[in-house]
Structure 1
Amino acid sequence: MSDEPASLARISLAAVRHNVQLLRGCAGRAEMMAVVKADGYGHGAVPVARAALAAGATWLGTATIDEALRLRAAGIDAPVLSWLNGPGADWATALAHRIDLSASDVALLEEIGRAAVRGGSPARVHLKADTGLGRGGCPLTEWPALVDAALKGAADGTLEVAGLWSHLGSADDPRDPRCLAQLELFREVTGFAERAGVRGAVRHLANSAATLALPEAAFDLVRPGIAVYGLWPDEPLTDADLRPAMSLRARLAQVKQVPAGQGVSYGHDYRTARGGRLGLVPLGYADGVPRAAGNAVPVWVSGAPHRIAGRVCMDQFMLDLGDSAAAAGDEVVLFGAGLDGEPTLADWVRRLGTITNEIVVRIGGRVTRVYTDEP
């Protein structure tokens, strides 16, 4: 048996650096923001941020101020944008730590401006337009008022318009006609802001898929998220050599002999077709293994696939090992890069009808992260 923990997510920082370099090459003259929200999509925000910056990223992106502050606490000094904060957020702390902030309406912009007055230095803001996603962002009818309020704040020294941005509505297919329509709208809203007097703001629209497959969306800054980690949300759009950074592994906690017809796990949704061996894996939905993976997803044991048998429980699931010689302590690979035939996250996505993002961000805190510079 190994000294490794019972379950671990092995994170290849070499893969992160490779992916960032590939994305930088696709971005042309645009700079790159590596999105490290949700603890780096479950990979660890601080190690990923450092690897991304070493490979050529110049910005970092987070959803919340707290996520951005954790980067600063780790000594990371690169520009950071935090974009998902509502009224009453801790603007003062964010501004004291030189964190850029997003604003989508006049009231929020004015609140940030008041915090900047109290802090004694202007707030760097990115004005977000809703060009068609229908989620966050300023409605186009209110865009002139937001731009005007930002320019007034710039004139009185409380605000600096550091960015103009929006979000594509199809995360995995930037050639979707709706995304192409958004691209034209983005050109219009940024052009309006520039004609009104906004100067020097970075324009950013491109997510992972657009960075890889829609070069005209690069503008001044690209904003890839899931591709930094070597993944597509589901099916690849290009043959880009993305390298998955995470593999999820555990060790068999028990192996036992059972007869034919043995019911397995809650509800006995699975029964053994013949006598054989069952293996217990100490990972469950509390650790990020989807409950829907029961009876659906294969994992890798001793060089062979074995389907999860029965329902995934909170802390564990079972494998029907059949005649395998696997023993307690042997390694189980839930997913990896697929280089040795093991299942990949793409295999999980196809069987579960989800996206890779949802699986990796749910890998829980009980799973030890181990970082390596191996590919």
Structure 2
Amino acid sequence: MSMLIEEGRTEAMAAARFAGPTLQLIRGAVAENLRRMRTGGPVMAVVKADGYGHGALAVASAAVDAGAEWLGVTDVAEGAVLRGGGIEAPILAWLHPAGIDVVAAVRNRIDVAVGSVDELAELIDDAGVAGLVDEGARVRVHLHLDTGMARGGCPVRDWDRMLQLARRGRDAGLLRIVGVMGHLPQADLADPRANVPWVMRLQHARDTALRAGLAPLIAHLGATSAALSDPSTRFDLVRVGAGLVGIDPSRTVELAPAGRFTAPVVHSAEVDAGTPVGYGGAHVADRRTRISVLGVGYADGIPRELSREACVEIGGRRHRVIGRVSMDQIVVDTGDASFPRGSVATVFGPGGIAPTVQEWGDWAGTIPHTIVTGIGARVARTVA
């Protein structure tokens, strides 16, 4: 008898469980987007910020399988994770929020970008202390020029000093100068005229580097928007990050959505007209209606400030988000439809009915990049 009771309890517990919040990467969409941007030449698939929130290793693997020649990351540590996951493609790290670990860079075959004379001098010193010459190893370096952002990169006035120092590091057997790079400040305008000064600046910088005896060099400047709208920015390589997951910052090209963010219904109820909903009663029901509570909130990446248009998809229809976004929950007005616990709501995803990441960016008064990179760690990542 006790065994039957225990079996019944186990079945009831299993029935009460359902899938929690999940962000699913759609590999086929990554491949489709990459194919679209590879038409003009080689692509560096940028997977920083954990693959724009979708899982760095999963996005990198999908991109490499679809033909990406390079991968881009924030720092050497991120690159090392990709190497540990079996990725063999060339990797470039260029932001270095904690500095550059030269030993880890060499050990993991990760190129590094350097954007100032001081940074390059420190890199050379570190490489010398590490004894890389004795091991016959060199740090592979891309020289980063400031091409109009003033956010990083070597100022033009220091470029000649940068090249002289790079030659000394190379001649000492510590460095291998691999490339020159920059960033475009206005590529999101999708107007090639806005890119002309910066394209010319990088061309001049590469020519100067070649005359200084630093050859051969890979030049790269453009990212997703430029890759889609301005062939002159492609040089030898384009760096594509947001575009991999279906975001075109210029909003001129419709790419394939590569993420599906879902959350379960954890509570449903019927409320009367005049019922306040959520903290502060910020929403008051204007009629008798049904509501569903989803197990996802601002701790999971749902923006706290949303316009009244914000919605999710449940049961093949869009339903409006009402009341304040809580840390762990949002409330949805489902009208005359009732959804049991465990029903799946799509926060964003492909398919035409589900909201898009771009819509969520608009509803929150931000860019879609903020939405995908803000998805919290307790949201499970899967791959389709």
TM range (shorter): over 0.9
Q: Say if 1:86 and 1:108, in contact at 8 Å, map to a contact too.
A: no
Partner of 2:44: 33
Residue number in structure 2 paired with 1:346: 358
Is 1:15 paired with 2:26?
no
Residues 116/174 of structure 1: CA separation in 2 closer, same or farther (3 Å cut):
farther
The match for 1:126 is 142
Q: Which residue of 1 aligns with 2:114?
A: 103
Counterpart position of 2:126: 115
Q: Is residue 236 from structure 1 mapped to residue 251 from structure 2 by the alignment?
A: yes
> Among 156, 164, 171, which residue is 2:180 paired with?
164
* Separation (CA, whole Å) in 2 of partners of 1:139 and 1:52: 33
For the 8 Å contact 2:117–2:154, the answer to whether it is kept is no
- Written as runs of structure 1 = structure 2, the 5 A alignment for 1:186-205 is 186-205=202-221
Distance in 2 of aligned mates of 1:207 and 1:278? 43
Aligned partner of residue 20 in structure 1, secondary structure: helix
The 3 A distance-change label for structure 1 pair 10 and 23 is same
Check whether the contact 1:288–1:359 (CA below 8 A) recurs between aligned residues.
yes
Residue from 52, 56, 78 that aligns with 1:67? 78
DSSP 3-state at the match of 2:196: helix
Identity %: 37
1:122/1:331 CA distance change after superposition, 3 Å: same
1:171, CA displacement in angstroms? Answer: 4.5
Partner of 1:273: 286
- CA distance, structure 1, for counterparts of residue 103 and residue 23 of structure 2: 36
| Residues in 2 aligned to 1:236 and 1:152: alpha-carbon distance in whole angstroms | 44
Instruction: For residue 290 of structure 1, report the CA deviation from its aligned partner.
Output: 0.6
Amino acid at match of 1:163: G
2:224 paired residue among 208, 225, 228: 208
Larger Rg: 1 or 2?
A: 2
Give 1:362 deviation, angstroms.
1.0
1:145 shift after superposition: 0.5
Equivalents in 2 of 1:266, 1:24: separation in Å? Answer: 48
With the length of structure 1 as denominator, give the TM-score of the two structures. 0.93
Distance (whole Å) between structure 1 residues aligned to residue 279 and residue 121 of structure 2: 54
Contact 1:147 1:193 in 2 (8 A): yes
How far 1:353 moved relative to its partner?
Answer: 2.2
Tell me the amino acid that sits aligned with residue 238 of structure 1.
V
Query: Displacement of 1:61 after TM fit?
Result: 0.2
Tell me if 1:79 matches 2:79. no
Letter of the structure 2 residue corresponding to residue 326 of structure 1: F
Q: Read off the aligned partner of 1:216 and give its amino acid letter.
A: S
Cα shift readout 1:275-324 (whole Å, capped 9, x = no counterpart): 12121101001101111136441111112111110111111111112211
In structure 2, distance between residues paired with 1:3 and 1:321? 22
Task: Kindly indicate whether the alpha-carbon contact (under 8 Å) linking 1:232 and 1:356 is maintained by their aligned counterparts in 2.
Answer: no
Q: Tell me the equivalent position of 1:291.
A: 304
Aligned pair count? Answer: 365
